[in-house]
Amino acid sequence: MDEDGFRQFLKRGGRTPHTIDNVVKIVRFYEAYLDKFAEGKVIEQATPDDLVTYVDWFEREEEKSAKGQLWAIRYYYRFINNKPMVMQVSELREERTAMTRKSFKLRNFLGINTTYVEKLEALGIHDVNQMRTRGRTPDQRRELSIKTDIPEEIILELVKLSDLARLPGVKGIRARLYYNAGIDTVEKMAEQNPDTLLVAMREFVEETGFEGIAPLPKEIESSINTAKKLPKEIEY
């Protein structure tokens, strides 16, 4: 990293000394990751895939959004005029900004035991984004179960509902419908045929007396198409 040149670039952009130090610290951390986990690359050699892998690693290890990391890293790629990486950083950051804006509370899922939700909230887990981050792997879910005295299968249920909530329009009632009907992951949704799933959902609602109506054809199609594009987040 050309730290001196980067600091001058940030200074010319009107950044305060405190902000400059913070940005440089984050970029150093990113480059240290590349050196350790990306075959010794320096930041100028990193690819979009390296960046995506870094973001996944950071959010898994730190259990929080990488939005702040991306904010700082984008400055460096602007500094070296690497437009493809600037675009990649911007897209990843916008995804996380959108998730923050649309954060859905765990307690708003249909059929959730509020006692369990309150135990998770005591650990700072209030919404679907936090639930996916903190329950991404089997080990994390096991640890949460031990910390909260919530059965591991309930933790997994909440993680799966939170994963389904990444789909447009699939929140409190729709996520519960798909989960109860056996379409309990984004990956399973991606495998569905729209016409077949539409019929199955109508039959499920009618036969079980589910609290809610079956999704419309356009909803089904949108959910399946989006599921095919979403990256896998949860390890089972």
Q: String of b and e for 63-100 (b: at least 16 CB within 10 Å)? A: eebbbebbebbbbbbbbeebeebbebbeebbeebeebe
Length of the chain: 236
Q: Say which residues have a Cβ less than 8 Å from residue 3's Cβ, sequence separation at least 6.
A: 24
Q: Are 73 and 6 in contact (CB under 8 A)?
A: no
Question: pLDDT at position 98, please?
Answer: 62
* Positions in the chain whose pLDDT score sits under 70: 98-102
What is the per-residue pLDDT across 208-230, written as a single tens digit (0 to 9) for each? 999 888 888 888 998 999 999 98
Residue type, 193: N
Q: What is the pLDDT of residue 102?
A: 56
- What is the pLDDT at residue 99? 58
DSSP SS3 for 108: helix
Domain chopping of the chain, boundaries: 3-101, 106-229
Provide the Cα torsion 151, 154, 156, 158; round to 10°. Answer: -140
**Per-residue model confidence (pLDDT) at position 101:** 53
pLDDT above 70: percentage of residues in the chain: 98
DSSP 8-class letter at 106: G
